[in-house]
Amino acid sequence: MNHFLSINDVTDLSQLISSGISAKRNPFGDIELGKNKTIGLLFFNSSLRTRISTQKAAQNLGLNVITMNVGQDGWGLEMEEGVIMNGDKAEHVKEAAAVIGSYCDIIGIRSFAGLQDREKDYSEQVFQQFKKYAEVPIVNLESATRHPLQSLADCITIEEFKIKQRPKVVLTWLPHFKALPQAVANSFCEWMNPMDVELVITHPEGYDLAPEFVGKGQVIYDQNKALEGADFVYGKNWSSYQHYGQVLTDDPSWMITEAKMALTDNGKFMHCLPLRRNMKVADEVLDGPRSLVIEEAANREWSAQAVLREILLGMQ
């Protein structure tokens, strides 16, 4: 593996999942792999799990880690080519990426969707520019359209907790008053497509995800019907793709409660976190035995370790 921007960079998904599970059993088995190498983690947006789990995974592999909140501490970065830089951005990505690439052997980047301009967000300009100018492998720590390290942790969690060969996995939209990106939901669908699961997606009308992410997922607009017989309920809020970046509704009846979970086949609840209690999901679900949110977050370390290991092996 060279870059890790989406599932398209993965050659063998089941092997990558197994590698994550092996890392969990033996975290320091590959501690020599990253020796004398450095990973730079660049954050244009807030982070808790991604930042700590990726740093931990990198250290388990013997890598040196440098983390920077580039969005706050760095110079404003110009991403467009050929512009007159007379605005608020002091540095061009051409220099910034090349310089960081000269210090680091791998660069991880978090840069969320702006949710103003769909074409721009879906072009993944920040990642394309870093890929072009840094000349080292780039790792997606959540881009405008995807969050693949989260999705790999989700695959690992489903593998660990499934009790049927082909579980029913329901991605449900949750209410939120703020406009959030489609990245986690897009990515989850993209990674569930090659898995041996029945994928159902439920959301209010107007919240359809881009068809290239939905794939074989079956869309059912009636949440109660979608939840019937589910083994895993994966909650997430996202803003509209069609009416780009808009909040069309925050209908509280979409919140996940015990009554909703009672429609499932003793289903487990998953969410990438952070989440707002009693708006998206009721305390009774999060504090009860159905919730896998902590186990899922813990698996972020192993998904990051599986990916970084693969990149380091490719450098040998």
Residues that bind ligand SN0 (CB under 6 A): 178, 180-181, 183-184, 272, 274, 276
Backbone angles phi, psi at 42, to 5 degrees: -110, 125
Nearest approach in angstroms of CB 98 to ligand SN0 is: 29
Q: How far apart are the first and last CA of the chain?
A: 11
201, two tokens: 């997606």
- Cβ atoms of residues 236 and 212 within 8 Å: no
Q: Which of 202, 239 has the CB closer to ligand SN0? A: 239
For 189-230, give the DSSP string.
HHHHTTSSSEEEEE--TT-PPPHHHHTTPEE-S-HHHHHTT-
Q: Which of 35, 243 has the CB closer to ligand SN0? A: 243
Nearest approach in angstroms of CB 122 to ligand SN0 is: 15
Q: Which of 136, 270 has the CB closer to ligand SN0? A: 270
Minimal CB distance residue for ligand SN0? 180
Q: Which of 134, 214 has the CB closer to ligand SN0? A: 214
Q: 3-state DSSP helix/strand/coil percent for the chain, to nearest 5?
A: 40, 15, 45
What is the distance between the alpha carbons of residues 271 and 95, in angstroms, rounded to a whole number?
38
Nearest approach in angstroms of CB 245 to ligand SN0 is: 12
What is the SS3 assignment for 239?
coil
Nearest approach in angstroms of CB 229 to ligand SN0 is: 27
Nearest approach in angstroms of CB 236 to ligand SN0 is: 7
Q: Which of 5, 183 has the CB closer to ligand SN0? A: 183
Q: Which of 138, 272 has the CB closer to ligand SN0? A: 272
Nearest approach in angstroms of CB 41 to ligand SN0 is: 15
Neighbours of 11 (CB within 10 A): 9
- Cβ atoms of residues 139 and 311 within 8 Å: yes
